[in-house]
Structure 1
Amino acid sequence: MKLNHTFLALMAAGLCSLPPAAFAQSAKDFEDLRNELKALRAELAQIKAQQTQQTPAASASAWNERIEAVELKQKDAVVLGDIPGSFRLPGSETSIRVYGFAEANMVKDFKATAPGDTFTNLMEQPLGKSSQGKTSLTAQTSRFGFETSTPTSIGTFNTKIEADFYAYCGSECNRNRLRLRHAYGEYAGWLIGQTWSTFMDTDNLPETVDFNGPPGATFRRPSQVRYTYNNPSLAKFQFAVEEPSDGARTPNLVARVDKAYDWGNVNARLMTHEQRIEGVSKRGMGLGLGMGYKLTGTTTLMAQYTRMDGDGDGAYLIGANYPVLSGGTVRLDKAHGLVLGVSNVFSEQLRGTVSLGLVRSRHNLGDVYAAAVGGTGNQRLYQWHAGLYYLPIKNVELGSELIGGRRTTYAGATGDMLRLNLQARYLFN
C-alpha cells in the first residue's frame, strides 16, 4: 500500500503526540518560564565560577532546586486546547485533538448474502428463497483522525483529517485498504475539502450497528466548497458546489436551510445534478426534508424524506436505481426514500435505536431496465434495524443489532435479508 509522504508525516505527528497536561497556561506563560530558566542557568554558572570561600555550596544547591522547580513547571506548560480532548504544543495557539477507535464486527447472515460488501447491501440481495447464509468477521471499519482549531482575529480556523480501512476495491475483494473519509479546512463560514454532503441530513440519521445503515437517505462524502451563514434568531443557510457524479462535467449545486428549536430541529434541502452516459447528458433535481423531535428527555424521533431524479453514484439516495441510456436518452429513476427512527438512552451505559428505511421507484421503468440491465431494477426496498449499545467501562462499546429487509424488482421477484451484527468498539479520546 502506497501512501502520500505528507499524509504519513501528519498521521505520525498526531499519533505520537503526548496527552495534555493537567492544567492550562498561555503560550506567553511558557515563553516567560523559558526565559526564567535561561536566566537561572546563567546565574548558576556564574556562582560555580566563583570561589568556594566566596559562595557557600548551599547557595548553589538552592539554585539547583529552584531550577528543577522551574523545569517541572515548564513541562506542564503544554496546554489544554480549545476543543474538548485537545491540547496545544508549547509556543502554539493551535489546538490539536487525536481521536478514533478500533472496531471489530461479526456478521451472521441467516439468508443469502449480497455480494460486494460485508455490511448491508439490500440493492443486490440475491433473489428467491435461500437459507445459505454465512458468517463474516472484519476490523476494517476501525478509524483514526485528528482535528485542529486555531484562533484568529475574526474567528477560528479549523481542519480535519480522518481515515479508515474500508476502501472499495471491486466486488468480492478484500477492502483492507486505507481510505480517506474527511479532509477539509473551515474558516469564516467557508469550508473547502471532502466531508459529508451538504445534502445529507446527519442530524436525523438513526444510529445503527451496521456500518451502512438503512436505505432511503443520503450517504455521500464529496469534495466541495461550502458557505454557511448562521443567524441564530432566523436559521442556518448553506450553499455548496459539490463533486459531480461519475462522468458528469458540471458540479452538483446544493442549497440548504436548518432551524433548531427547543423540541428538536427541521431542515430542507435542494440540489441539481448532471448525469451523463456515453456523452449523453441529463440534469435532475433532488429534494430533502428532515426533522428531529424530542419525545421525552431521553427519547428522540427522527424522520427524513428524500426525492431524487436518478443517482449515478448510488449515494445521494441509497437504494435508487442507476440512470440508464435508452433510445439515445438518459432515463432517471425518480425515486422516493424515507427513513424513520426512534432512539432512547436507557442509562449512562445503555442506549438503543429502532429504524426503518424505505425506497420506492416513482415511475415504472421495468421495460427500460429490462433492455439495459436485464430487468434487475428495484421497484421497492425496505429494511429495518433493531439495535443496542452497551458501555461496560469507559471507552468501550458493545453493539448488537438484528436487521431484516426485502428487495422487490420491477418483474416482481423478491429477495429477503435477515442478519445479526455484533460489534466491539474501543475508543480513544
Structure 2
Amino acid sequence: MKTKITAAITLALGTLYGTATNANLLDKTNVKFSGYLKADAMFSSYSDGTIASGSIGRDFYLPSLTPVGGVEESTQFDAHVKQSRFRFTTSTDLDSGDKVVGVLEFDFQATPDGNERVSNSYEPRIRHGFIKYNDWLIGQTWTTFLDVKALPETLDFIGSTDGTIFIRQVMVKYSTGNFEVSLENPETTVSPFGGGTRIVTDDNPVPDLAARYTFKGDWGHFAVAGLLRQLSYVDKQGGNDIDTSTTSAGISLTAKFNLGQDDIRIAANYGQGLGRYIALNAVNGAVLNADNELEAIDSMGFSIAYRHIWDTQWRSNFTYSMFSADNDTALTGLSTTKETYSARANILYSPSKELTFGAEYAYAKRELETGADGDMSRLQFSAKYAF
C-alpha cells in the first residue's frame, strides 16, 4: 500500500511541479497508509427504558446514557462499521538532518449525520492530526493525561469507560525520555444551579496543563500523570452577570504488568473538576451555586483488566470499571449521576495478525443521586481486518 501511494504522489507532484521537484520530494518523504475495517453487531437490553435510534449510546457504551426510571422494552439490535478508520503518516527528512512526521487519522464515530433508513451513510471525523518535530508535537492527539497503553482490548470502542481518562484535543507537547508535558485546548462543562441542561462555556482563557512520567521495564510499565486547569464561565448577555472561575486538579495512576504472555492493566483517577476528562463527561466539571459562582465537582474512577492468552490464535479479556462523583446535591439537584460501573468479558480469535473475530458480553449499571438506578446488558460481535 505504501508503494502505491508513493507512486500516486510521485505522479501528482511530477504533473504539478515537474520531475526535478518531484524526485527531490520523493527522496525526502515517505508516505504510509494504515488503519482497519471493523463491523460490529450488538444486542442491547435495558432494565429502565430505552436509548433512542441514532443515539451514540447505541454504537458504544456511554455511562451517562444508561436509562434510569423508564419502562423496560424489548432487546434492540444495531449493526454498523463506524469504528473503521484510516490513517495517513508522512515522514520527511529535512536538509538539517532532522525529521518531521505528520499524522492525519479519521473514523466515522460520533458524527451528527447519517441514519439506518436507506444508505447507512456517515461522515468521517478527525481523530488525530498532528506534526511531530524532534521532541515537540503540535496538533490534535491523545491528552497527555491519558495512558493509552493501559486501555484493555475490548470490542466496545473504549471498554473500561467508567474509570478511564479518555479525550483527544489540540496541544503543544514536549517529550524527553520518559517525561511528557503539554498545554492543551481547554473547555469547561457546568451544571446549572439546582440541575438542568449541561452548559458548555468555551470561556477558558488559560490552556490545560498536563504532565506524565512513565517507568518502564521488562515487567511492563507504571505511569503517574497530573492535570491542572482553570474552569471558567462568563455570561453577561440578556441581563446575566456571571463571571466566575475555579481551579481544577487531578492525578492519574496507570500500569500494565506482564504475567508471562498474559497481563493486568490498571487505572486509578481522582480529581476536583475532572468533568469531561473521565467517563466521557458522565458528570460536569463544576456546578453553579446560588451566587453564580463555580464550585468544582470531585470525582474518581478505577478500572482493572486481565488479558489471558489461550494459545497463538485465541485470547480473552476480563474488565471491570467504575466511576463515582461527590455531588453537592443542594447545588446539582438529585437527577445527576452518582456512580456507574461496568463489567465485560470477551473471546477473540485471530487466524492471522490482520484478522480478528470476537464476541463480548457487557453488563453496566448507573445510579442517580435520588437512589434510582438502571442497568444495561449487551452482547456484541465483531469482525476486524487491520492493514
Tell me, yes or no, whether TM beats 0.5: yes
For the pair 1:280 / 2:261, whether they are aligned, the reply is: no
1:103 aligns with 2:91: no
**Shift in CA distance, 90/158, structure 1 to aligned 2, threshold 3 Å:** closer
Counterpart in the other structure of 2:180: 238
Give yes or no for contact 1:166–1:175 (8 Å, CA) kept in 2: no
Residue 293 of structure 1 pairs with residue 257 of structure 2: yes
> What letter is aligned with 1:130?
E
Does 1:219 find its partner at 2:166? yes
Residue 410 (str. 1) matches residue 369 (str. 2): yes
Q: Deviation of residue 196 (structure 1)?
A: 0.5
Q: In the alignment, which of 240, 263, 267 is matched to residue 223 of structure 2? A: 267
Paired amino acid for 2:129:
A
Structure 1 287/293 Cα, relative in aligned 2: closer, same or farther at 3 Å? same
Deviations 1:139-170 (A, max 9, x none): 12211111122345554322111001124429
Structure 1 position 93, deviation (Å)? 3.0
The root-mean-square deviation of aligned C-alpha atoms, in Å, is 2.8
- Which residue pairs with 1:324 in the alignment? 287
Task: Note closer, same or farther for the CA distance 1:359–1:294 as it changes in structure 2 (3 Å cut).
Answer: same
The amino acid that maps onto 2:62 is N
* Aligned position for 2:195: none
The 8 Å contact of residues 68 and 374 in structure 2, kept in 1 or not, is answered as yes
1:187, distance to aligned residue in structure 2 (A): 1.4
Aligned AA for 1:308? G
Alignment of structure 1 residues 8-157 onto 2, 5 Å: 17=5, 91-111=26-46, 112-115=49-52, 116-117=55-56, 118-128=59-69, 130-152=72-94, 155-157=98-100
SS of aligned partner of 2:351: coil
Compared CA separation, residues 414 and 171, structure 1 to 2 (3 A): farther
Q: Which of 328, 331, 337 is equivalent to 1:368?
A: 331
Deviation at 1:320, TM superposition (A): 4.2
Structure 1 360/180 Cα, relative in aligned 2: closer, same or farther at 3 Å?
Answer: same
Range with bigger deviation, 121-130 or 188-197:
121-130
Aligned ranges 1:295-310 → 2 under 5 Å: 295=259, 297-310=260-273
Whether 1:378 aligns to 2:337 is yes
- Report Cα offsets for 1:286-333 as digits up to 9, x if no partner: 1111111112x2110110111132245x23453541122121121322
TM-score by length of 1: 0.73
Change (3 A) 1:172 1:418: farther
What's the CA shift for 1:266?
0.8
Q: For residue 244 of structure 1, give the secondary structure of its aligned residue in structure 2.
A: coil
- Residue 171 of structure 1 deviates from its aligned partner by 12
> What is residue 16 of structure 2 aligned with on the other side?
none
Structure with larger RCO (C-alpha < 8 A, sep 6+): 2
Shift, 1:89, TM fit: 10
Counterpart Cα distance in 2 of 1:343 and 1:250: 40
Q: Secondary structure at the match of 1:120?
A: coil
Whether the 8 Å CA contact 2:348–2:357 is kept in 1: the answer is yes
* CA separation of 1:255 and 1:189: change in aligned 2, threshold 3 A: same
Specify every segment of 5 or more residues in structure 1 that has no aligned partner in the other structure, as ranges: 1-12, 21-33, 35-87, 231-235
The structure with the largest strand share of the pair is 2
CA distance in 2, matches of 1:226, 1:349: 38
What is the identity percentage for the equivalent residue pairs of Structure 1 and Structure 2? 26
**Partners of 1:368 and 1:406 in 2: how far apart?**
24
> Do the aligned residues in 1 keep the contact of 2:249 with 2:274 (CA within 8 Å)?
no
Q: 2:249 and 2:355 mapped to 1: Cα distance? A: 42
Match of 1:166 in 2: 109
Q: d(CA) in 2 for partners of 1:167 and 1:120? A: 12
Q: 1:403 to 1:335 in 2, by over 3 A?
A: same
Unaligned runs of 5+ in 2: 9-18, 189-201, 236-242
Specify the SS of the correspondent of 2:331: helix
In the other structure, the counterpart of 1:182 is 128
Instruction: Give the residue type in structure 2 aligned to 1:105.
Output: D
Greater CA drift, 103-112 or 172-181: 172-181
Report how far residue 359 of structure 1 moved.
Answer: 0.7
Aligned to 1:80: none
Q: Quick one: distance in 2 between partners of 1:148 and 1:249? A: 33
Q: Distance in 1 between matches of 2:113 and 2:365?
A: 24
Judged with a 3 Å threshold, the aligned counterparts in structure 2 of structure 1 residues 343 and 175 are, in CA distance, closer, same or farther, namely farther
| 273-282 or 402-411, which deviates more | 273-282
| CA separation of 1:133 and 1:172: change in aligned 2, threshold 3 A | farther
Length-normalised TM-score, structure 2: 0.80
Letter in 1 for 2:60: F
Cα gap change, 1:169/1:149 in structure 2, threshold over 3 Å: closer, same or farther?
same
Q: Pick from 343, 358, 369 the counterpart of residue 307 of structure 2.
A: 343
Whether the 8 Å CA contact 1:167–1:178 is kept in 2: the answer is: no
1:84 is aligned to: none
The count of aligned residue pairs is 338
